Structure 1
Amino acid sequence: MKKVLIFDDDEDILAICTYVLEDAGWEVIAYTDCRDVIARTAAFRPDVILMDNWIPDEGGIVATQILKKDPVLQRIPVIYFSANSNIGELAITAGADHVLAKPFDLEDLRLTVLKALK
């Protein structure tokens, strides 16, 4: 079973993403902040990470950069998702591998995660 780790402070988005991804057969863990991002990620060993831009405490850019500097975790694809109009630039700054603009179609969520897993 593939594993997806989600960092987003919007509990409605977490609930929707968790439902859609679990329905597709993936195991999901979600957090409303990015404290201990290395420890949480290392403990779960996800196949892909969804990272929000505006997440407490460090924010998505710093949290993604921290993950991408870790020699073990850097290979995990990060999907940067946000409602910011400059999401592409933010994702590049963060070092993310993919982007998903909010609001998104539920099928786009599923397809983006599948693309990141390849």
Structure 2
Amino acid sequence: MICDDDEGILDITGLLLESYGYQVLLEPNSTLLLPRIALEKPDLLLIDIWMPQMMGDEIVRILRRNQETSHLPVIMFSASRESKRIASEAGANDYIAKPFSIEDLNDKIMALG
């Protein structure tokens, strides 16, 4: 599952990951993400840190406190300098800086699988 408020990034990342054989779920609205995760039970979450309404790090902290989602692998991404630290402090499994190559992202996904 991918969550990013930038629908262009969301769409292209989704298409590229599908070309690698992944089944991809897209969510542009961070406030709808937690109920979708509960319903869809994804194998991995790729989430932007900087989003309106609910920030990505806030969502990851909520996931980590919930017994049903505490072990969900999470890769956070952003273009901000402090984002790697934020991702680590929130409990993300990994971080990738924007812009990223789809090959690097796939390597990170495979490492978590």
Q: Give the TM-score category using the shorter length.
A: over 0.9
Q: Hey, what's the Cα distance between the residues in 2 that align with 1:115 and 1:62?
A: 24
Alpha-carbon distance between aligned partners in 2 of 1:67 and 1:37, rounded to the nearest angstrom: 11
Q: How far, CA to CA, are the matches of 1:116 and 1:83 in structure 2?
A: 22
| 1:30 CA drift (Å) | 1.0
Answer yes or no: is the 8 Å Cα contact 1:32–1:56 preserved in 2: no
TM-score normalised by the chain length of structure 1? 0.89
| Cα distance in 2 between the residues matched to 1:87 and 1:112 | 17
Alignment identity in percent?
Answer: 35
**Residue 95 of structure 2 corresponds to which residue in structure 1?**
99
Moved over 2 A (4+): none
Residue aligning to 1:17:
13
Amino acid at match of 2:10: L
In 2, the alpha carbon distance for the partners of 1:10 and 1:22 equals 18
**5+ residue gaps, structure 2:** none
Q: Aligned-pair distance for 1:68?
A: 1.0
Among candidates 30, 49, 52, match of residue 48 of structure 2: 52
Q: What do you get for the CA RMSD once the two structures are aligned?
A: 1.2
Q: Could you list the runs of 5+ residues in structure 1 that have no partner in the other structure?
A: none
Q: How does 1:21-36 map to 2 (within 5 A)?
A: 21-36=17-32
Report how many residues are paired: 113
